[in-house]
Structure 1
Amino acid sequence: MNHFDIVWLAQADLPDIPPQALLSHPEQKNHVKGAVPAIKWSGGMALVLDSRLHHDQAWVVVYRAGKTVAGLQVLHDFRHVHDIKEAANGHSMLLTDATGRQHTLELSWLSMVSGSGGAWDNLLPSGTSFMLTNGHDFLMADRDGVGMAVHVEPAAMQWQLRNGCLYNDSTGQALGLGICQKKVVGADDHWQLLPSGELVYGDGGHILCSDPVSSQVWLQARDRSVAHNAWHVQMPGLPTPSEVPEKQVNTLSLHLRVCDDFRAGSGDSISFSINEGKVTQVLASNFERGSYFEVDVDLKGTVGSTPLFIDELKSVELYQKSNGGYGPAWKMQSLDLVVNRAWTNRVVGSDNVWVEEKKDAASWRGCVNWLDWRVPGLQSPLDFAGYTYPVRFLPWLADFFKWRSYQPDKLDGVCQLIGEDKGQILAYELKTNRLIHLPPNGPGDSYTWVYTPQKSILIKAWDQALGRINYIRHSQLAGGKPVVCAGELKIGRMTLSNPVTDIIGLLNDASGHYKPDGGQCLVHVRERLEELGLDTSETRIAYREHG
């Protein structure tokens, strides 16, 4: 029986971190700054790492002999590990994240994956995609079969081990007898990578061999007296920016413009914090009206060493300290956040806010709205001759008397459309702050959507079999504000096997709260869908005729 210990390790003492993962540095008073918790036992070690690919997701990465990745387990709705301790039952570990959410991790699973539990001695990792290389080429699969290659679709070179069988990420089929892809997995289609580098098939009588010249692979009777090419596991690199939205904040800058009005400047010192943090950074001091400042935020100093993602930016606070000069109040014209020199968010627009010193408190606080983030080329507001559709009076009155919420970020299931990811339609759920794939529709359900003047498509699933129960009105999606267009859409799945292909199958202007002219506005929605990388060539457009 293994004995499990919880230790805190400095970054220099950690094994290699998979490219898709990030270290999280919890704040612990009793440990060295920058240390991370780890679970150690005889023959293995486990780290809890944040995922680079999905927000609000973490990985338990298991290392064999403390060095080689043996497998991983995905923790959904978990981020920034804060503490690890043994559970009361003595058979699992209790993991707690920065917001207090908890997961249990079975100790038997850790032993099994690392191979220290006596289950098997297999160097193929479980629970994650990996690549197999002979030192030059990679084992790959496509519709034409299995072979060796270097420059192919990344998913074609990636495999997963499930119940002892190898499945290709691109085709979804199993590697089996005759080195073909099989739809039905047999009892002998199990694979094992030995410390010698041999990739053993079935009962151990055959191994997988490859020819670096012809790129062919074949099964050959295992002969321990003959040296064969050694196979190695390699973890995939990071996806390209087109494959996954890059949301990690690598650089952050704050741009402040002071009004040019009379006496809009101040002789005071202004500092700021991010997300109501305890550490502030100097922004400006003794400035004239019309001044403009650009300040690079010291991320490590203001928000700590824990990786920060763009949707975790919630607020900016300004603090004012009197220098005994003129003032004390000053007038702010605009305040913008810029992430990674690309994403921009106007926290203050044309409000021309007066700011003055408050004792022991922030002088001003601005909320960072996720829907207000913009990227280059998509920053300018829409201009359809200035025409948008307001909520009609009688539907608005019904919303008012029935206390319907006009806060879309507080409503369950409301999402902002993001784009395409691995053949599926990707969206960002506002309430839970996470990325999700929108499922395709059946005959009895659809999606309600609005298109805002800020180029956001907000969407909510509607099960029509439930009638108006839990139905979210278009006015609620838009927060009661005017829209460019509104209606319903259906997502259709073009293929049932891997890789899947989802499309917008139907797009209409069915909205009683706004009653838009689909003949005029749906074309702009279609353009926006194409900007997001969605294929609209098969989309059927339907709208009411307006006389």
Structure 2
Amino acid sequence: MNSIFTGQASNSQTIDSLTVIATIENIKWAGTGTSIYISLGPTLQLQRFCETASAGETIALSIDLKKMFGRKNITLLEIQGISFHQVGRETSFGADFLNGLTLGVAGTIKSNEDDWALESVTLIANDIYSNTTFKQINKWLHAPSSHLDTVWSGQVLYTNWINSDKKPIDLNSQTYPVRWMPYIGDIMRWRSYDPSKIPGVGQLIGRLNGRLIGHQLSSGQSEQLESNTTTSSYTWVYTPEGSLIYRRWDKTNHAAYIRHSQLGSGRPVICAGEFKVIDQQLQSVISMVNDASGHYKPDGGACLRYVAEKFEALGISTEHTEWKWRDSAS
């Protein structure tokens, strides 16, 4: 995903080892007799992943970071994509067998024995962090020619990295805590820190029939997010668990405003702000996202890149979204 936030992130976790683990489907003919190559870096450098693969086999490869990325040490943010490559084989057959078949090359036919079924891919960094973006691929892969072809590729989501405790790692190596003065104000006013008990608070879960869909935490019911007016928006927080928690805010009713700290259960969050939803060509579109939060005060929009990534992961396009962030110096 092309991002306008490239270069805004601060230090991320630095690693010096990366292992890719692929599992082949345990079904008949799921393996392959030809070599598979892997690429992860920005320059499409290739490393042999395996010479052959058998049905049900789990293959682990230690990635040559120097070859893939040009350095022995990289950050998790740099692992943005992964792809497998393969050269298909052409097998010669007798004229009687070939009679009546449509051939790409005279006297040869593309063999299906190179096809294979990929079940899952897991990335392990420094033996601490793991990424299961591709835990359920379950797809037959096919090399269409006798040249080196890409047979599968995927985007590695940073938000899917977890540590050895199975907890999401802090994006940008940090989360944003509630500032002390707003926190004291919340306590003095007995504001609830349990978003599941606050009416109207939901979790954004994706798109259905062109509409943004959320899950109401208090009622357990799904809802369609309504379009905003000039005097309304949705306040939101992005939690370290990878959830986008929101609530509609009518700005003409200040007494009904729910603070970001309440949406975030009073805990640190990855990012917080507002977004607006409009109807465009019979679809709900997120027209604006910002990081305006007086309780958390995110720094200069650096965290918004991960919010954009989360939207894309939920199937919500941000092609027409306007991104705004407060000046980190203010």
| TM-score, length of structure 2 as denominator length | 0.49
- Structure with higher Rg: it is 1
| TM-score, length of structure 1 as denominator length | 0.30
